[in-house]
């Protein structure tokens, strides 16, 4: 079972001492600040169900993949986590938790939305 969801990561920075219009900021400073706005771990919650639409419970392997497009194409990133589903099949994970550096920042550098694919089993 695979489905895709739109995953948009939007960073909003509120930094004291932001430049007044007309002042110049070196490009390195702007790039450094914008990198801090992308979270390295993203919380995602969902439900897992079997082919008969009955909720699964207990440990379930789930693969999460990020795609450029809604349908088709190779994943830009993926990881598999064993989630603990409750009696209704609900679970919650931190995407990027299986990688030492979390989600790769370059996935979101373009500012384009990404699609999240979720495969059970």
Distance of alpha carbon 56 from alpha carbon 90, whole angstroms: 9
Alpha helices, H only, 1-121: 27-36
Q: Are strands 77-85 and 42-47 parallel, antiparallel or unpaired?
A: unpaired
Give the pLDDT band (50/70/90) at residue 46: very high
pLDDT digits (tens, 9 = 90+) for 83-120: 999 999 999 999 999 999 999 989 888 899 999 999 99
DSSP symbols for 60-84: EEEEEEEESSSSSS--SEEEEEEEE
Distance of alpha carbon 68 from alpha carbon 121, whole angstroms: 23
C-beta of residue 91 within 8 angstroms of C-beta of residue 70: no
Q: Are strands 58-67 and 42-47 parallel, antiparallel or unpaired?
A: unpaired
pTM > 0.85: no
Task: Report angle CA 29, 12, 39 to the nearest 5 degrees.
Answer: 85
Q: Which single residue is written with the structure tokens 């007309």? A: 22
C-beta of residue 41 within 8 angstroms of C-beta of residue 96: yes
- 26 has a pLDDT exceeding 60: no
């Amino acid at each position: 079972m695979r489905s895709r969801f739109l995953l948009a990561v939007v960073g909003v920075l509120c930094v004291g001492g932001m430049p007044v219009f007309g002042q110049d900021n070196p490009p390195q400073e702007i790039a450094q600040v914008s990198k801090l706005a992308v979270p390295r771990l993203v919380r995602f919650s969902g439900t897992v169900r079997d082919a008969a639409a009955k909720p699964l419970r207990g440990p379930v392997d789930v693969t999460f993949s990020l795609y450029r497009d809604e349908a088709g194409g190779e994943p830009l990133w993926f990881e598999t986590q064993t989630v603990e589903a409750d009696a209704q099949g609900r679970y919650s994970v931190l995407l990027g938790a299986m990688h030492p550096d979390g989600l790769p920042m370059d996935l979101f550098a373009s500012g384009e939305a990404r699609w999240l694919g979720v495969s059970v089993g």
